[in-house]
A and B are shown apart, each in its own frame.
Chain A
C-alpha cells in the first residue's frame, strides 16, 4: 500500500476517539494524551504537556504511529520554553512557535523517529494553552470537542505555579 506523505497525514480529518491518559502525578508536567480517529492506516495521537511550574511552557504535538512500528511527530505547537534554531541557522529567541516540516520532506512519508525541526513564531496570545490548542486543532485538522477543550483548560489552570514545594 502506498504510504501517505507527511502533508497528507497532517491534512487528513481527525476526531478525538478517547483519552489515553490524563494528568497523572508526574511532578514536572501535567499531561493529556488523546487517541485520534481518522480513515488513515496507522494511528494518530495528540499529546499535551504543560510544565507545572511555568504554565506558559507547554507543547502540543501530533504523533503518528504507522503499522510497521514507525513513530513520527508531525507537528508541535509550543509555548515559551526558550530558543529554537532552524536547520538554516535562523534563530527564534523565545516565545510561542509551531514546529513543522517544510520543503520536499513534506511530500514524503514520515521516517521512523522523525521530528519537525523547522519552527515558525506565532502570535504571543499563544502563550495561553487553550489558544494554542485551537491552533493545533486547526493545523492538524483535528475536530476538537468542548469536553476535551475543558480538559486542556484544566491542565493549564491546575499548574502549581510557583508553589513552595516547587521552589524550595
Chain B
C-alpha cells in the first residue's frame, strides 16, 4: 500500500493515542507524560507538566532528572550546568533551579515536550564527555601552575588571586597574579567556561584591586573556543600563543611579568 499524508497522519495519531499517556503524580499540581522515548539504560525520558504562573500556561519540566542521571557518574558542577543550558537554549528551554523547564501556553505543550525530549537525549553523553573534559582541564591547569612555580618565587605568585576582603566566596578570581614591576594577571584557559570567567574576573579586578595590571591568558587551544568567547578573551587578555607550547608560554610569562 502506498502511504498517503492522511494515512501517515492517522498512523501517527493512533500511535500517539495508544502509546502516550498522562499520569497524575500530585493531583492538580503535577502530571507525568509517559511517551515511548527511552534513554540509554532503557528508562523512559522523564517529562512532567505542572500549572504555570500565567493563567492557562503550563510548565514542561524534567524535574531535574537529567542532572540527577548525570550525577550517578560525575559531580554536577557549573560546567555541567553550563553545557546543559547550552543544549537547552535552542529549544527555548531554560535550566532553572536544576530543572530543564519551559513555560508555554497549552497549545504549545506538544512542541515543548518534544524539545525537552531532545535535550534529555542529547544530555545523555554529558556524564562522560564532561568528565573527560574536566579531567583534561585539571591536568592542563596543573601543568601551567607547575610552570609558574618553576619560573617565579613563592613570594612573587598568588595563586589563585581574588579580592579576599570584598569577595570572600572568590566569585571573581584569576588563576594567578605575578607580582613584578607591574602586576601580571594570569588566566589558565582550558575551555570556554574558563575563558568567560577569566573575562568577568578581569573586568572586576581591574576596577578594584589591580588597575595597572597586565593580563595574560594561557589557552589550551584558542581555536577550540567558541568564536565570540575567543573574541571576548582576546579583547581583554594577551594570549600566550594559540595553543600551549611550554617555551612560548615561558617566554611570555618572563617578558610580561618583568620580575627582578
Contact = CB atoms under 8 A, between A and B. Distances in A.
A26 B98 contact: yes
Report the contact-size class of chain A (Cβ under 8 Å from the partner). 35 or more
A125 to B, nearest CB: 19
Contacts of A131: none
A82 B43 contact: yes
B29 interface: yes
B78 to A, nearest CB: 13
Contacts of A103: none
Interface string A68-107: 0001010010100111111100000110000100000000
Report the contact-size class of chain B (Cβ under 8 Å from the partner). 20 to 34
Interface string B83-109: 000000000000001110000000000
B114 interface: no
B63 A51 contact: yes
A84 B42 contact: yes
Q: Taking chain A's interface residues, is the majority helix, strand, or loop, or is none over half, making it mixed?
A: loop
Interface of B: 23, 25-26, 29-30, 32, 34, 36, 38, 40-44, 46, 50, 53, 63-65, 67-68, 71-73, 76, 97-99, 128
12 contacts: A27-B97, A29-B68, A29-B71, A49-B68, A54-B26, A73-B72, A82-B23, A85-B44, A93-B34, A115-B41, A117-B40, A117-B41
Given A49-B71, A81-B46, A115-B41, 7 more contacts: A53-B30, A63-B73, A73-B72, A86-B42, A113-B128, A119-B42, A119-B43
